[in-house]
Structure 1
Amino acid sequence: MNMLDRRDLGILIVDDNDISRSMLRHILNSEAFNVIGEASSGVIALDWLEKTIPEIVCLDVMMPDISGLEILEHIKSVSPETVVLMVTGSNNRDTVVKAIKAGANGFIVKPFNPATLLQSMHYAVNKSQKQLKTMIDRRKAWKNSGLI
């Protein structure tokens, strides 16, 4: 990640499982990634996404209220540049295909370990550097102009 500082990347974690959220946050924070928020449900995630647009979202596929695939479609409709990594305990081919068609940038498979999680994160960030830099620059400009 040569041209991006990972501390500039705002990450939202969306997962209904407290332990998964906690592990994701801990692993990402230990690598100096900037976890800016967490949501334990789809409704909370959508509320969060109305207030701010993170550069990266770690999004659970299976949630009780709104599916991760529906949230993915919403994210990509309001911010196509946002990098979305789907978090899943299933390798159901239909789900994977739907997520990719809807714009998912990668997958984190549960149970995950720190090495595979960070490998997925680094791969997605490296593959999406240009769009992430655009988002960071735009957010900094908005902040400097007082818009946010």
Structure 2
Amino acid sequence: MENLRILVVEDEPTMRELLKDMLHQTGATLVVECEDAASARTQFQNEAFHIVMLDLGLPDMDGHELMQEFKQINEQQHIVLVTADDSIDSIQRAISAGANGYVVKPYSKEKILDVVNNYVMMHGGQEDALRGFSRR
């Protein structure tokens, strides 16, 4: 899982740090952290990421709306929503809106590893998945 680039958008510092640590344990080489939609938008427009881990409850925007913005920029972007809401309605809404996955807090190492493994299985070589998506 070398060269895996992940954007983490999570407003809670403790959860963001936990998620970053778990992602590094999976072999991700670059994990960029953002605490709100505004900073995430800037990072997303300037860098290419294999996976975006996106919290639904951001202070400045709903995570569903931000996911739609990201999908308009790159409809193939692999986005996994993270939230404390484990209702069937929320999960169905996320998947039907284009999310590639849904992780309920609190995070477990196994679930985060599943997210990364799912991406790798879907996309094979990570380098190929980013080809053509450079935003610089």
Q: Judge same fold: TM > 0.5, yes or no.
A: yes
* Partner deviation per Cα, 1:67-120 (whole Å, 9 max, x = no partner): 110111011111112111111111122322221122100111101121222123
Partner of 1:109: 104
The reply to whether residue 42 of structure 1 matches residue 37 of structure 2 is: yes
- What RMSD over aligned residues (CA atoms) do the two structures have, in Å? 2.1
Give the counterpart of 2:114 among 105, 115, 119.
119
The reply to whether residue 137 of structure 1 matches residue 98 of structure 2 is: no
> Secondary structure at 2:131's aligned position in 1?
helix
Query: For the residues of structure 2 that align with 1:123 and 1:99, how far apart are their CA atoms?
Result: 17
Partner of 2:95: 100
Give the counterpart of 1:8 among 3, 13, 22.
3
> Secondary structure at 1:120's aligned position in 2?
helix
Structure possessing the higher relative contact order (Cα contacts under 8 Å, 6 or more residues apart): 2
- Is there any run of 5+ residues in structure 2 with no aligned partner, and where? none
- Structure number with larger C-alpha Rg: 1
Contact 2:8–2:52, Cα closer than 8 Å, also in 1: yes
Q: How do residues 17-96 of structure 1 correspond to structure 2 at under 5 angstroms?
A: 17-96=12-91
> Secondary structure at 2:33's aligned position in 1?
strand
Q: Using the TM superposition, give the Cα deviation of residue 137 of structure 1 relative to its aligned residue in structure 2, in angstroms.
A: 3.3
Q: Using the TM superposition, give the Cα deviation of residue 32 of structure 1 relative to its aligned residue in structure 2, in angstroms.
A: 1.3
> Secondary structure at 2:132's aligned position in 1?
helix
* TM-score (norm. length: structure 1): 0.81
> Secondary structure at 1:63's aligned position in 2?
coil
> Secondary structure at 1:104's aligned position in 2?
coil
Query: For the residues of structure 1 that align with 2:41 and 2:131, how far apart are their CA atoms?
Result: 24
* Partner deviation per Cα, 1:7-62 (whole Å, 9 max, x = no partner): 22210000001111101111111221123411000111111112113121001111
Q: Which runs of 4+ in 1 moved over 6 A?
A: none
Query: For the residues of structure 2 that align with 1:121 and 1:104, how far apart are their CA atoms?
Result: 14
Q: What is the letter of the counterpart of residue 33 of structure 2?
A: E
Query: For the residues of structure 1 that align with 2:130 and 2:107, how far apart are their CA atoms?
Result: 28
Q: Which has the higher helix share?
A: 1
Over the matched positions of the two proteins, sequence identity in percent amounts to 25
